[in-house]
Structure 1
Amino acid sequence: MTTNTGGGGLVPEGPWLIVGLGNPGPQYAGNRHNVGFLVADLLAERMGGRFKAHRSRAEVCEGRVGTPGVSSRRVVLAKPMSFMNVSGGPVTALRDFFKVPVARMVVVHDELDIGYGALRLKLGGGDNGHNGLKSITKSLGPDYHRVRFGVGRPPGRMAVADFVLRDFSGAERKELDYFVDRAADSVESLIADGLERAQSTYNS
């Protein structure tokens, strides 16, 4: 994809930055809080790429999504290797390194206030108590795209922190691959088709 410079020349369009949120380390890999990592991993697999350590304190995979040719888009997938509540540092470093405007950033994260597996795509807004979003917004402002992946509310009196830092239940895992696949589809649609079309298809 190219854009006109106004002087008759064409320059390559800059990349999108797609950030999957989670906590680093094998002990967190299956947690509800790490669903952003799961979606990023699937997108990397679809691109035929592999994550590599980056000086921004993140793992990064570069490639293209969408139909090969005019409609494909260059993307940088990233998984911050800081803990969730300080994600803003690595994300800001990635933004600066790859020169990505906030309007071309997508953050994929777990969301308590929608049912398990449901998706909500949006641009801007508050952090709803999510520490990863809170850190990113503090660093970059709120005007980035979000793909909110529903994990539901904790049962009974279970603390929110305990709930999101536990693995998906056995019943949830039976459908997890399908929901992660759908979330990855929604990211690709957001980039290729725009927010409104992606919302009409995936906001459930």
Structure 2
Amino acid sequence: MILFVGLGNPGSQYENTRHNIGFKVIDKLVNDFHARDISKNSFQGKLYRAANSLFLKPTTFMNLSGSSVEPVKHFFKVELEDIIVIHDDIDLPFGAVRFKRGGGHGGHNGLRSLDAHITKEYLRVRVGVGKPEHKSQVADYVLHDFSQEENLMLERLITHVAKACKVLSQEELNEVKSKYSLKSIEGLSV
């Protein structure tokens, strides 16, 4: 069983924010796989299933994401190496895509929560959202909607990341890295 987790915040006011790129990728995967809703209150999130794949959008708010992932992991007996987390990354330019297993949380509160609940060795799909000029603006920046210019490219980016996620469940990480890593949105062909 593979568990795809998209990080984000619930509620319409957060729907198009940079912090919710993980939710957007999960929505695309759920749609592509025609996954059905199997949510339960104990999962603290929207959970969907298609064959041997689970797709989770925690409804706990970003800082408590681990308390949604942990019960799903235990209920379905998902191995740590079969958890793929899609999240925004301000240390990457907009449209950059990177893959890695384990590592630090880099100040990302969603990852910090996951690390505390399930340890660090899950697979991360890091989606670059760019960063503000000043460190003090980070919280405000990630909770703001994508710019008009970014919105024009967002669908292509989400499609690319969703495609990479599908391949991640079948191919070696290094293969996926070489085929799907992007330095920026310019690396994404139309």
Any stretches of 5+ residues in structure 2 without a counterpart? 183-190
Partner residue of 1:154 out of 132, 143, 149: 132
Using the alignment, how far apart are the partners of 1:166 and 1:50 within structure 2? 30
Task: Judging by fraction of residues, say which structure has more helix.
Answer: 2
SS at match of 2:5: strand
What pairs up with 1:31-110 in 2 under 5 angstroms?
A: 31-54=17-40, 55-64=42-51, 74-110=52-88
SS at match of 1:129: coil
State whether residues 101 and 124 of structure 2, in contact with CA within 8 Å, keep that contact through their aligned partners in structure 1. Answer: yes
Q: Which residue number in structure 1 is paired with residue 142 of structure 2?
A: 164
- Cα offset, 1:48, TM superposition: 1.3
Partner residue of 1:184 out of 162, 165, 181: 162
Using a 3 Å threshold, how does the CA distance of structure 1 residues 168 and 158 change in structure 2: closer, same or farther?
farther
* TM-score (ref. length: structure 1): 0.86
SS at match of 1:193: coil
State whether residues 39 and 45 of structure 2, in contact with CA within 8 Å, keep that contact through their aligned partners in structure 1. Answer: yes
Residues 14-49 of structure 1, C-alpha deviations (whole Å, 9 max, x = no match): x10100000001110000000000000000000112
One-letter code of the match for 2:17? N
- Cα offset, 1:50, TM superposition: 4.2
- Cα offset, 1:99, TM superposition: 0.5
- Cα offset, 1:51, TM superposition: 3.7
Partner residue of 1:143 out of 104, 121, 125: 121
Using the alignment, how far apart are the partners of 2:134 and 2:44 within structure 1? 37
- Cα offset, 1:158, TM superposition: 6.0
* TM-score (ref. length: structure 2): 0.92
State whether residues 39 and 48 of structure 2, in contact with CA within 8 Å, keep that contact through their aligned partners in structure 1. Answer: no
Task: Judging by fraction of residues, say which structure has more strand.
Answer: 1
Using the alignment, how far apart are the partners of 1:53 and 1:106 within structure 2? 19
Using the alignment, how far apart are the partners of 1:52 and 1:164 within structure 2? 29
SS at match of 1:53: coil
Using the alignment, how far apart are the partners of 1:63 and 1:78 within structure 2? 12
State whether residues 88 and 129 of structure 2, in contact with CA within 8 Å, keep that contact through their aligned partners in structure 1. Answer: yes
Partner residue of 1:24 out of 3, 7, 10: 10
Q: Which residue number in structure 2 is paired with residue 6 of structure 1?
A: none
SS at match of 2:85: strand
| Alignment size in residue pairs | 181
Q: Which residue number in structure 1 is paired with residue 108 of structure 2?
A: 130
Using the alignment, how far apart are the partners of 2:176 and 2:44 within structure 1? 30
